[in-house]
Amino acid sequence: MWAICRAAFESVRDKLRKSWWLPAGRPFTQEAWNQAKNQLLRTVSTQDFAQARWQETRADIDPERHSATLVLVLDSGPQIFLGALDIEGTEHYDAQMVQRLARLRAGQTYKQSDLLEAQQRLISSGYYDSVLIALAETGSPEAWPVKVQLREAARQKFVLGVGVKSDSGMHLSAEHVHHRVPGLNWRASTKLELDQKLQSLGAELLAPPNANLWRWNLSAKATHEVLSTYETHSQRWRAGQAKLGDTIDRNIYAQYDSASSTLVGDDLKESASANFAWTWRGFDSLPFPSRGWGFGVELGAGMTLGSTQVPYARWLGKTLVMMPLSSTWGRIALRGQAGGIGTQDASAIPNTQLFIAG
């Protein structure tokens, strides 16, 4: 026998029946009975009904018939809706930044997964070292305040790295991040990498998200790389906007590339291009998925610069599939990518824009 206190929630009740872990015909054990009750209560209390409680649970065992009759009465309590954010711990970054990154609006129905995703977005932003988001459970169920407790990250961060690679020996890296450049309030990061085959220096400026969660970014990178039988010196300058979402990322940018390679006599080749990148993720959980798949595509159109001007189009597709093996063996990840260039003369394009086979 099943009941949820309000007849208006019959559809919820039907879904719970279908997801019940102890259906008719399954062997009854005390452990399975406890797990099934906990799972069902967790399902209800983490979406819409944060105050859900068991009103009665009973298992009537008939030894002669080898059967068990299960009685469960669940008091769902009222449906819960989110209220305003109650933010604590802001010093250098204002509350508006928290609201934009959290994406929790007053009046939306309560889902614990929404709070966890908001918490992850705030941590992933780099502005905060720790974040805790929970319902305050006070006031009217139609507007329960959401308590956000923060500890902001240090204004500046230095990271030094030392490692060894099998093909290039000792690897050194140094990175500096300033989360709020004075007078600009953008994040600035600079990274240096050194080993026998790769030396690179890159810098990036990233703006805080606007009301629509788009962020301006500017970046530059200079690289010297040894590839099998030749060397490449290259530069890349980029400016554009990016929007990172829970399932979809978008990036629109203009890019300048220059490269010279000993493979083609050290001739300098340059190009300018407009690009669009789009990524979709369909995983069971983030940031640590166990199953699902993702897909990304990059599209660009450009023109070589200098004495020879040749138009070209560039595309790149990537996919990632994850499948669980077992609770013991973890998961397997399959990656694949394909790309191409459309042009009348590929020799005029910087080799950093080309696809190298082999």
Tens digit of pLDDT for each residue in 308-324?
A: 899 999 999 999 999 98
* Residue 265 confidence (pLDDT): 65
- Per-residue pLDDT of 248-279, as tens digits, reads 999 999 999 999 988 766 688 999 999 999 99
Q: Say whether pLDDT at 305 is over 70.
A: yes
* Residue 264 confidence (pLDDT): 61
**What CATH number is given for 82-152 in this structure?**
3.10.20.310
* Residue 238 confidence (pLDDT): 98
> If you average pLDDT over residues 21-43, what whole number do you get?
87
Domains 2-75 and 82-152 share a fold: yes
Q: Say whether pLDDT at 175 is over 70.
A: yes
* Residue 2 confidence (pLDDT): 36
Nearest to 340 by CA among 320, 318, 313: 313
Nearest to 246 by CA among 212, 219, 211, 285: 285
Rounded CA separation 283/293 (Å): 6
Chain position carrying tokens 């889902």: 111
* Residue 15 confidence (pLDDT): 78
Mean pLDDT of the chain: 88
CB 250 within 8 A of CB 242: yes
* Residue 94 confidence (pLDDT): 84
Q: Give me the CATH topology for the region 207-353.
A: Porin (2.40.160)
CB 109 within 8 A of CB 83: no
Least confident segment among 12-21, 109-118, 235-244, 285-294: 12-21
> If you average pLDDT over residues 116-141, what whole number do you get?
88
pLDDT tier for residue 331 given thresholds of 50, 70 and 90 = confident
Q: Give me the CATH topology for the region 2-75.
A: Ubiquitin-like (UB roll) (3.10.20)
What number of other Cβ atoms are within 10 A of residue 208's Cβ? 19
pTM: 0.77
* Residue 5 confidence (pLDDT): 42
* Residue 298 confidence (pLDDT): 97
Return the domain boundaries, the chain: 2-75, 82-152, 207-353
pLDDT tier for residue 3 given thresholds of 50, 70 and 90 = very low
Angle subtended at Cα 49 by Cα 45 and Cα 55, rounded to the nearest 5 degrees: 75
> If you average pLDDT over residues 181-202, what whole number do you get?
93
Q: Say whether pLDDT at 125 is over 90.
A: no
* Residue 326 confidence (pLDDT): 73
What is the DSSP secondary structure assignment for residue 23, as one 8-state letter? -
